[in-house]
Chain A
Amino acid sequence: MSLQRSWYVFGRELKLSPRSPLVFFAIAMPFLITFLISSVFGSLFDVNPRLGVVDEGDSAITAAAQQLDGVDTTVVPDAGTLKARVEAHDFDAGLVLPAGFDTAVRSGETPDLQFYISGESLASTRVILAVTTIDLVRGVAGDQPPVTVVVTPVGDEDFVPISDRLLPTMVIYAVMIAALFLPAASLVDEREKRTLDAVLVTPATITDVLVGKGTFAVILATIMGVVTLALNNAFAGQPGTMTLILFIGSVMLMLMGLALGLWAKDVTTLYTAIKAGGIVIFLPVLFTLFPGLPQWIPKFVPTYYFLQPIYDIAIHGDTFADVLPEVLIAVAICIALVPLVAWVAKRSEHELAITV
């Protein structure tokens, strides 16, 4: 095997990628899926409502707002700046607290309170900020709420909203197209058009070709996985760990893609196999979407061992140490796939030579 020749194959794949519809699809898919899911379910990992405050008189409301866990409060210097930033949707709402506001409220006056709402903010966010503001003002006035609200949690306390449970679906789509489809389709195309024959009568070996194609697929898949997590604010403060797991998952799917591409005789066979076998790759995603199903079943599927760690880190805030057992199994699966790919490659090379 020659790393230099693999590099040339990689360079060819990279150079031709702008001309490949499949590469375009692989790049567009994370954006498309994120857009679709956001449109239907709202953004994954929604950020807190953002409140901008102009405090002209050192109001206690500002300090109270900054203490709130569920609202991100930012103090800005003047009303003009606040209005501009609300218009730009830097804040969902803006509040101007004039000098002497607290004193006026406490003395029973009803001073005007300027409250700007961003036209692009969600209705739910507007309600949250409006109610929160009224509550803060009431606190300054010393009024007691007219009722006592009794909060009783019902249902599964571990319940994860459907929008969050869709994260593995988006990740598998983003990674699978680049890591599995791309090298598989590329290999089948080269075999069908016999360009692989031309390459294999040069000093380049089938291993050089596979390493070059595989490297391109893994890099693209990892990047698209990272982009998907970034678009959905799903790094959970661990971008390095997430990237590493995405990389391992991309390698796993790439090896499956190479084996599939070497095995399939033509494009029709390849897509039939993907349609039939795709359910196996997607199985963990279904079990995440429907948590009522027995959760031991997806553990028989290789993709579980990189999708589940990503899900656990993003949703449950697990650390790398928590997900290490799954990650190690994913690495072991990758290692086990290498001799399988080598065997299929040897068989495929022979078949190619004896096919007229």
Chain B
Amino acid sequence: MIADNYRVTTPSNPAGIPAIDVDDIRFSYGDTLAVEDVSFTVAPGEILGFLGPNGAGKSTTIKMLTGQLSPEAGKISILGMDMPGQREKIQGRLGVCFEEKNLYLSMTGSENLKFFAKLFGVNEFAPEPLMERVGLSTRLDDRVSEYSKGMRQRLMLARSLVNTPDVLLLDEPTAALDPVSAIGVRDIIREEAARGAAVLLTTHDMHEADDLSDHVAFINQGKILTIDTPENLKLKHGTRSVRIRSRHGDDIDEQVIPLDDEGAEDRIRDAVSTEGLMTIHTEEATLEDIFVEYAGRGLT
């Protein structure tokens, strides 16, 4: 079930140029093929969830997008420019949030942001609004070494936004975050996409991918298995059903009614009208289930 090539017809910018256009790229570490004929596009304002287990080729793909590695074959175009040919120009419009918290620990949060803003050539950069946005406005002048893991993660996201990037590459942006902070970070990612930034998001969190992504790409063993919207994947590969639980004396009765079965509506109506009704849940396949179906293995 391995796809040869995927082209997602999502809206692009007015000029019709996708923000990220990856065409049949390949990279190997010595004899080990890490990325094989990977193709995808991400339009401005789109969030593409990149899902796969460790060693699937996600990080290698991102490193080729950032210009850290050059593809052995294939072509990468970002914002209409060739990577790595126009690396410096492209990097000026990229925002990258690494999984590893690679911040300058001996500098304050504010100093970290200002330093990177300078490298991006952002004049008159004020860190306060960005720190406020990630909930760190009270820790502006504290050294990062005094930050908690979650705070460092939020500062990483803030750092990736100092240049108001047109393309955001986010590697596990909510790792190490508490649920409330994770919601805040997801809101920021949505806001960035709404602003027009193309977002490539790698995550192990299927709920996050489902929640945020316009499209998801499953990648395993260096190959993209499929790309589609989460809804389409669930429709294609899952069974929609309703799980109804009701109490009869001391017993609890549970029915699972597939929605696509003939007479499903009548069965649901009967079940709902029964005395002792406890709970009704709609059920659909999760992205994890679908990934297992494609890859023959889980994400961890």
Name A residues whose Cβ lies closer than 8 Å to a Cβ of B.
Answer: 4-5, 8, 12, 15-16, 19-20, 193-195, 197-205, 349, 352-354, 356
A20 CA / B107 CA spacing, docked (Å): 11
Q: Closest 5 A-B residue pairs measured CB to CB?
A: A194-B102, A353-B68, A202-B119, A8-B118, A201-B66
Given A353-B63, A354-B29, A356-B59 in contact, is the A201-B69 Cβ separation under 8 Å? Answer: no
Given A194-B98, A201-B68 in contact, is the A19-B106 Cβ separation under 8 Å? Answer: yes
Could you tell me if B91 and A12 are in contact, using CB atoms closer than 8 angstroms?
Answer: no
- Cβ-neighbour of A197 out of B89, B98, B120 (below 8 A): B98
- Cβ-neighbour of A203 out of B68, B104, B105, B120 (below 8 A): B120
Given A19-B106, A195-B103 in contact, is the A12-B94 Cβ separation under 8 Å? Answer: no
Could you tell me if B91 and A203 are in contact, using CB atoms closer than 8 angstroms?
Answer: yes
Residues of B in contact (CB 8 Å), total 29
- Nearest to A8 among chain B residues (CB) is B118
Contact residues of B between 91 and 113, Cβ < 8 Å to A: 91-92, 94, 96, 98, 100, 102-107, 111
**A16 proximity list for chain B (CB < 8 A):** 104, 106-107
**B102 proximity list for chain A (CB < 8 A):** 193-195, 197-198
- Cβ-neighbour of A199 out of B67, B94, B119, B121 (below 8 A): B119
Given A12-B115, A195-B102, A354-B29 in contact, is the A205-B68 Cβ separation under 8 Å? Answer: no
Name B residues whose Cβ lies closer than 8 Å to a Cβ of A.
Answer: 29, 59, 63, 66-69, 88-89, 91-92, 94, 96, 98, 100, 102-107, 111, 115-116, 118-121, 159
Could you tell me if A203 and B66 are in contact, using CB atoms closer than 8 angstroms?
Answer: no
Could you tell me if A205 and B104 are in contact, using CB atoms closer than 8 angstroms?
Answer: no
- Nearest to B68 among chain A residues (CB) is A353
Given A16-B106, A353-B63 in contact, is the A202-B98 Cβ separation under 8 Å? Answer: no
A16 CA / B107 CA spacing, docked (Å): 7
**B29 proximity list for chain A (CB < 8 A):** 354
A156 CA / B235 CA spacing, docked (Å): 98
- Nearest to B95 among chain A residues (CB) is A201
**A5 proximity list for chain B (CB < 8 A):** 118-119
**A195 proximity list for chain B (CB < 8 A):** 102-104
Could you tell me if A203 and B121 are in contact, using CB atoms closer than 8 angstroms?
Answer: yes
**A19 proximity list for chain B (CB < 8 A):** 106
A356 CA / B92 CA spacing, docked (Å): 24
**B63 proximity list for chain A (CB < 8 A):** 353
A356 CA / B63 CA spacing, docked (Å): 11
A15 CA / B108 CA spacing, docked (Å): 12
Could you tell me if A202 and B120 are in contact, using CB atoms closer than 8 angstroms?
Answer: yes
